Amino acid sequence: MSNRLKNKIIIVTGGSGLLGSEIIANILREGGFCINMDINAETTSDLSDLKCDITDINSINHSINQVITKYHHIDGLVNNAYPRTSDWGNKFEDIMFTSWQKNVDTQLNSYFYFLQQVSKHMVPVQSGSIINMASVYGIVGPDFTVYEGTSMTMPAAYSAIKGAIINLSRYLASYLGPFNIRVNTISPGGIFDHQSPIFVNNYENKVPMRRMGLPEDISPLAVFLLSDESKYITGQNIAVDGGWTAI
């Protein structure tokens, strides 16, 4: 442990999930204090877990105010939560327009509001690092052959939303740069989560490194971008994808 994040107060949304929990574990190993804002969390006295629905403006406001009241500042934010509708995964021709609208609202729009509210507390102290979690499918179109033989597909809203998050991050890097606030994006490739063996085999046969990603492939980059080691890096979208976007 090198204590690269010593004394830093860092919020991770969706920290109870697969990627979020590993990112939090790595932040803690590096000496940071992490606040897991998750709809499935139960609020603790030190706010290491803080129940928050990122699709609800009032819940966001209340949660951020709790952090500021207790700790007075926010040094880092990892926007990682991934809310979605129950019909997520429908094929393009079967997507109801109301479902499309709701996913854009709960994912993209909630990211915007969270970023806006957290950055308000970073601007006065002229310091902060923000990471938005995107995807390789915000960079390139899906290869639908990896889903052959399965019931899986790549939802259209996912590509649209993740692409928007990448460019919103570039906008904010430019806008917040004069205040010494850095904004970067991490775009993971496929992360193994006990998917269909057919899908895993299809994916691994295509990706240059011949394996799916793991949460521990992602979390070290998050720590680096939150730390002062990356103090001159902003506006970047970094793919951690085993070479997927290289081919």
Map residue 79 onto helix, strand or coil: strand
Give the containing element (helix H, strand E) for 102. Answer: helix 97-103
Catalytic residue check, 158: yes
Q: How far apart are CA 14 and CA 133, in angstroms?
A: 11
Q: Which amino acid is at 128?
A: G
Residue 165 near residue 110 (C-beta atoms within 8 A): no
The candidate with the shortest Cα–Cα distance to 210, out of 201, 223, 219, 197, is 201
Other beta carbons within 10 Å of 144 = 10
User: What is the number of alpha carbons within 13 Å of residue 15 lying toward its C-beta?
Assistant: 27
The catalytic residue among 137, 158, 175, 232 is 158
Residue 76 near residue 132 (C-beta atoms within 8 A): no
DSSP one-letter string for 181-223: EEEEEEEE--B-SS--HHHHHHHHHHSTTSS-B-HHHHHHHHH
Per the structure block, which two tokens stand in for 203? 């994916």
Backbone CA torsion sign across 53, 54, 55, 59: positive
Catalytic positions: 158
